Amino acid sequence: MSGRLVFRGFVLAVVLCVLWACAACAQGAPRANRNLAALQQLADKGDVLAQVLLGLRYAQGQGAPHDHARAVALFQKAADQGDALAQKFLEAARAKGQGVPLGNAQVAELLQKAVDQGGAKAQTALAGMYRAGRGVPKDAAHAAELLQKAADQGIARAQFTLGSMYSRGRGVPQDYAKAAALFQKAADQGFAMAQNNLGTLYLHGHGVPKDYVKAIMLFQKAADQGDASAQAVMGEMYLRGWWDVVPKDVEKGCGFLREAVVKGITGAQKSVDRYCSK
């Protein structure tokens, strides 16, 4: 690797480390808001699994305020695309009626029945319940098993989530190479969060050869799809410019940073105040 590229990487790493250090204060509710916003974006694009998962959040009042009408509308959209699991939740929500959230045990039971029939979307959703211990005993290893089955069937969210588990060593041994492979599969399907995470692996050379240009390209793809973390990264890049790879564009940088702040990346606010308030 040339000395010039090493220096470029050093500058990039310093900028991102400062940003991520500032963003570390965005925990709890802001993090939940970012996850909710990401699901909403996918649901708006017609992603059936996102519609079901978002519907469950509103139906249960977990990770979002309980909203029977929004839950029913989301389940209906997914059911209209022929999704049998969404139809089951639609019927369950209507049976409960307005003002009565779906319970964890009922959701887990419905998901397990769908899993027993090999449903990949149900495997992904039930894995989330095992990871959190909602309606079932907390069991990260079993969650990983369910996610692997769904990932093998091409479910991008399962590939992303299992990749995140390998990246962090939660429920499975830490393995950056496996994480990168899973992120790549999801990224190839246009899954923005996987593109962002894969970019981070290329930035640090974890599980893949260190490649700053490829990292930036992945961050850009994710940012263009509205991923808040990637928008914060690319916002910082456009503010400063990164040689011939990212041209300096303060207006574009400020646009990305403002969107990131709205979605809960509070660490980006300092740059907005400093560079984007004029």
- 191-217 per-position pLDDT tens digit: 999 999 999 999 899 999 999 899 999
Average pLDDT over residues 8-33: 51
The pLDDT mean for the chain works out to: 89
Q: Give percent above pLDDT 70 in the chain.
A: 87
Average pLDDT over residues 3-20: 57
Q: Which residue has the higher pLDDT, 264 or 231?
A: 231
How many Å separate Cα 89 from the centre of its chain? 23
Q: What is the pLDDT of residues 58-96, one digit of tens each?
A: 999 988 999 999 999 999 999 999 999 999 999 999 998
Record the pTM.
0.87
Where is average pLDDT lowest: 5-19, 32-46, 143-157, 162-176? 5-19
Q: Check: CB of residue 190 under 8 Å from CB of residue 184.
A: no
- Name the strand (E) or helix (H) holding 128: helix 120-132
| Angstrom distance (rounded) from CA 128 to CA 140 | 9
Q: What is the pLDDT of residues 22-39, one digit of tens each?
A: 444 333 335 566 678 889
For residue 32, the model assigns a pLDDT of: 60
Token reading at 139: 């069991």
| Angstrom distance (rounded) from CA 262 to CA 160 | 24
10 Å CB burial of residue 50 (0-12, 13-18, 19+) is: buried
136: left (phi over 0), alpha (psi -120 to 50) or beta: beta
55, 25, 48, 38: which is closest to 195 by C-alpha? 38
